Amino acid sequence: MTRIINVRGHPEWIDQATDFFSTRWGIDKSLYEYSINASLSTKYPVPQWYLMLRDDKIIGGCGLIDNDFMIRTDFCPWLRGLYIEPAERGQHLGEQLLEHSRVEAAKLGFKKVYLNTDHVGYYEKYNWRYIGDFAHTSGVDTRVYEADAVYGLEEMSAVFDIRANTYDSHMIDDLGLDEFYEAIAVCIDTPINHLLDLGCGTGLELERLFAKFPDMEVTGIDMSGEMLNRLKGKFPDKKLRLICGSYFDVGFDGVYDCVLSTYSLHHFSEESKLALYKKIHAAVKPGSVFIFGDYTVATLERQQELLLINDVKRREQGIEDGAFYHFDTPFTAETEIQLMKSAGFVSADIIKQWDNTSIIIARK
């Protein structure tokens, strides 16, 4: 199990932290030594330095500092030194540190976090926004990103209401998910009269399906009223029945040719998913399918780790059981398949898979 510590609260790690950041970034040890030592006693919010540990071995880390050699001194704090050991990459550990830095920034009283980098495409995946090229003390302009500080878990519908106007551009332009939505459309090769879309959002998954089946009727369920308004505005001439609510609570009245869910189910427990998959199984016609397209993780260890983090965050905020708050807890594809079969589907198969996303078709 990994854990993240603040060196300020664990001064016994000062020397190891200094060596870690200095050697990994090839920067004079004295610079890190000064900043990390300053973090122990400063009366100001930053600097702060964080280590990611596994079995008391450093596998990554980052810092929050007042300025990362940038001319823009009005930006603060800056994420500095983000690094994951090469052997540990591919497990979303960098994502964890990025999220941790935003949560810590909120605790320290900041509204945003900044970083400079020459990378293009990485930080965009994790809700960091490119805001321009700015002057660096080296004399060369560098790309600068910002992200909002995170004030604990947010209520689910509020999260997506706020993001409704930018959701499509984030999914398509920032995350490059055209290929995913094309693959979803390819999965459905027989005519659909009535589709049930769970967590339909703004309807990105429906655009190609309406091109194939223009007379298709869609029942869409989503917690975000603003997302549903965007969906309604996209397809004013289509047969849409939109329900603002939780698909755990809303009854699936009717029998459907297909049930579809894309990028919506990665927030819930195994128990709640199994109950939902049983509802889905009852709602599709014999021989019909449930198509799952969503985030997945590579290992059970990572799955359990995310569930544990979510539990801790909910306890810290005093969130009652059953309340819908936003935190990603994707499962392995194998766990999803097991749940679908336990719900009564005769088969469930991975149709296409990327690093952190799977498309699974379950057949009744």
Nearest CA to 96 out of 305, 269, 356 is that of 305
> In this structure, which topology does domain 2-151 adopt according to CATH?
Aminopeptidase (3.40.630)
Task: Measure the CA–CA gap between 306 and 299, rounded to whole angstroms.
Answer: 11
Same fold, 2-151 and 155-363: no
Cβ–Cβ under 8 Å, residues 329 and 345 = no
pLDDT at 254 over 80: no
Averaged pLDDT score across all residues of the chain: 93
**pLDDT of 163-182, one tens digit each?**
898 899 888 887 889 999 99
Give residue limits of the domains in the chain.
2-151, 155-363
pLDDT at 358 over 90: yes
Average of pLDDT values for 334-346? 98
Cβ-count burial 199-216 (b if 16+ within 10 Å, e if not): bbbbbbbbebbbeebeeb
Question: What does the pLDDT read at residue 92?
Answer: 85
Nearest CA to 288 out of 356, 361, 229 is that of 361
Look up the pTM and report it.
0.66
Question: What does the pLDDT read at residue 126?
Answer: 87
Question: What does the pLDDT read at residue 60?
Answer: 98
Question: What does the pLDDT read at residue 324?
Answer: 93
> In this structure, which topology does domain 155-363 adopt according to CATH?
Rossmann fold (3.40.50)
- Stretch among 11-20, 75-84, 141-150, 217-226 having the lowest mean pLDDT: 141-150
- Stretch among 226-240, 299-313, 350-364 having the lowest mean pLDDT: 299-313
- The 8 Å CB, 24+ separation contacts for 8-15 are 8/39, 8/40, 8/48, 8/49, 10/51, 11/40, 13/51, 14/40
Q: Let me know the angle formed at the C-alpha of 112 by 110 and 264, rounded to the nearest 5 degrees.
A: 120
Average of pLDDT values for 336-348? 98
Token pair listed for 29: 């040890």
Nearest CA to 184 out of 3, 4, 354 is that of 354
